[in-house]
Structure 1
């Protein structure tokens, strides 16, 4: 067997996500708090358990950094968010996704985001172009005079000040949507449905796959501070970076 390529890792991530999504059709959804403003469901745990087993079996010796069941590292490391947008998911709001990314020697090389409600699959790798597979209605994004920005700011319980002022200023120059599912927001930016996404309070599993998708589609992904990012295209990106850097500093 030859060396594992980013395309191989993407194929494994994609099949694992597709198989994991099938579990959600019969999943029992019990919910528990894991923080004042954060939740975990039994479906999160079931999906992450499945993904860990599938990914490490398909890439022996690999490790997983996951939201619910802990983290380890190896030459090949998977970043797994079993259900990004849990608070939406447990209420039946169709804004959540399964997100898996692969890193080799610390560099992200493949990403997959699967929207189980719309049956949309967003994929890319270093040797595989960005693509969207959808079985539903799709619209070719048009040009708008105002950029469309996806952000969850202001965050409930945030330690940062200035978030309300940021949102108010942003709304004077852009159309704003708050969807509370970071990985899917990044996939939509990659697909051209939004011009940019920006958030604070994120973790590696929230953004790893989406960062691969955005970069593969020709966009920028910029880390801001220890727990923030800006991703997208056009003049709105440096504006967002400057404003978020002001908040986190």
Structure 2
């Protein structure tokens, strides 16, 4: 689908400035977090005051700059429409709540049926990952690329856990990966897990169910860094969530086989039909 490159240029410049403001808010919240009360949205699903503050800030800034764009946030929801910003204000909230500096802000922009822009920032380490469709991926302005490994015995995968899918499937996938010779870890921040695949810190990331605000920016990063992913938008993942896989090409097949998540054969498009279905079920 055609997009207005000038419109994407404007949003890219805006997003590069926006992530800095959001990171400052998150850092301040993290400094205040030690010993503070934490709310629970559900089992192992944490909520802090900073989640809401960061999302409200992002929503307001985007609405002011681009009132024609939709917005979908983890905390406040929204109506994405044909072009929209998809935001997780704090991914890795369980880490954040325990003063573990492994959390991030994830922002993606969708237009023309595809993710056009993606940014993931770790506020504590001041690491900013950025990608634009067709123009590569970077970390703090430096181009990044997925790992070149083809030896499964040298791999380090990350696998996220979701209580939306049977625990037995997760355990079975872990077991198969360990038996294949891989190391498997869990950092409890899926967006950063995907970013780490993009810059070669991990060889692959998989999760049996993930929400769009957690993964859209990261999936774009991985593809723009030379990696391969599973489908997501074409599975209705924008509103309903879907399985996620991202990996270095040389070992993606092993991760796909272990998890049962297929590899993407072409562009991951949010088709007009899928979009209309999602509007009806929203």
Q: TM-score, normalised by structure 2?
A: 0.77
Q: 8 Å contact 1:6–1:127 — kept in the other structure?
A: no
Aligned to 1:218: 226
Deviation at 1:7, TM superposition (A): 3.6
Deviation at 1:197, TM superposition (A): 0.6
Aligned to 1:121: 128
Aligned to 1:24: 26
Aligned to 1:62: 69
Q: SS of 1:201's equivalent?
A: strand
TM-aligned CA distance change 1:25 to 1:196, over 3 Å: closer
The one-character-per-residue Cα deviations of 1:227-246 (angstroms, maximum 9, x if unpaired) are 21110113431222233228
Q: SS of 1:73's equivalent?
A: coil
Deviation at 1:127, TM superposition (A): 4.9
Q: SS of 2:136's equivalent?
A: strand
Q: SS of 2:231's equivalent?
A: strand
Deviation at 1:190, TM superposition (A): 0.6
Which deviates more, 103-112 or 144-153?
144-153
Unaligned runs of 5+ in 2: 236-240, 262-282
Give the Cα–Cα distance (whole angstroms) in 1 for the partners of residues 248 and 5 of structure 2: 34
Q: 8 Å contact 1:7–1:125 — kept in the other structure?
A: no
Q: 8 Å contact 1:99–1:114 — kept in the other structure?
A: yes
Aligned to 2:15: 13
Give the Cα–Cα distance (whole angstroms) in 2 for the partners of residues 14 and 200 of structure 1: 31
Which deviates more, 188-197 or 165-174?
165-174
Of residues 169, 193, 208, the one that matches 2:216 is 208
What pairs up with 1:73-88 in 2 under 5 angstroms? 73-88=80-95
The one-character-per-residue Cα deviations of 1:124-168 (angstroms, maximum 9, x if unpaired) are 102532111189xxxx97967511111124x45743533212212
Of residues 239, 242, 253, the one that matches 1:238 is 253
The one-character-per-residue Cα deviations of 1:100-121 (angstroms, maximum 9, x if unpaired) are 0000033111100001111000
Which one has a larger percent strand, Structure 1 or Structure 2?
Answer: 1
Aligned residues: 241
Q: 8 Å contact 2:197–2:203 — kept in the other structure?
A: yes
Q: What is the aligned-residue RMSD (CA, Å)? A: 2.6
Q: 8 Å contact 1:7–1:128 — kept in the other structure?
A: no
Deviation at 1:220, TM superposition (A): 0.9
Which one has a larger percent helix, Structure 1 or Structure 2?
Answer: 2
